[in-house]
Structure 1
């Protein structure tokens, strides 16, 4: 893909996944859980359903690699990786949040704004990490 070695692709995916999973786990279990419980507690499961979560993470990280990191490597620009990651995060999380805002009782604009900001930040930082790790292999 784009003339990259398998090692570069694996580094991009692995680096992105490690940072994305690690930071999001911290957000969902420590930093943001109180906010979500207070805002949408009635909608939350006692225990998350891990299979759909795992599938989201696997596919979303692949999206970050394909839409942010590989084009950034082609351009030789860490800033491209960061900005494209932020843009993809805002788009993906925004799709989820705006759909919820338009269809769910009790879903507020505040939840959407915070969640979208989180998605942009998390995706940008993760794409940047994946870019730098992949860059080490080129």
Structure 2
């Protein structure tokens, strides 16, 4: 794929990521996070959040979707996406568990599982988008 095709794939992946993550954060997991870590939450720093999301989505494309498209393997997209999510979310959550007083162990487990599912799902959608519209 050309750099322009990767840019298109990136732009198509952004809404897929946000739709899936909003379902979790805004609906399914919202009350869970408020109950578990509401005492730590403040106003959202949207600049930091947007930068994180844009970088994270680039990581999904680079480390999961690109190798899967090159191999022509949906399974590789799912596996590499899930692994990328697992390691990224584990880094965040285990660091919080190690350094933030009263960080709940349950949040660590649930959030790592969510990151694994989210990223595997987004990598899968992105793989299909790339395979369908760009290859």
What's the TM-score bracket when you normalise by the shorter of the two chains? over 0.9
In the alignment, what sits opposite 2:52?
A: 56
In the alignment, what sits opposite 2:108?
A: 112
Offset, 1:7? 4.7
Match of 1:73 among 69, 72, 77: 69
In the alignment, what sits opposite 1:21?
A: 18
Offset, 1:21? 1.0
Q: TM-score, normalised by structure 2?
A: 0.94
Match of 2:34 among 20, 34, 37: 37
Q: Provide the secondary structure at the position in 1 that maps to 2:112.
A: helix
Q: Which has the higher contact order (CA 8 A, sep 6+)?
A: 1
Offset, 1:14? 2.4
Q: Provide the secondary structure at the position in 1 that maps to 2:103.
A: coil
Q: TM-score, normalised by structure 1?
A: 0.92
CA contact (8 A) 1:89 1:122 kept: yes
Q: Greater CA deviation, 124-133 or 19-28?
A: 19-28
Q: Which runs of 5+ in 1 are unaligned?
A: none
How many corresponding residue pairs?
Answer: 134
Q: Which runs of 5+ in 2 are unaligned?
A: none
Give the whole-Å Cα distance in 2 for the aligned partners of 1:15 and 1:126.
11
In the alignment, what sits opposite 2:83?
A: 87
In the alignment, what sits opposite 2:117?
A: 121
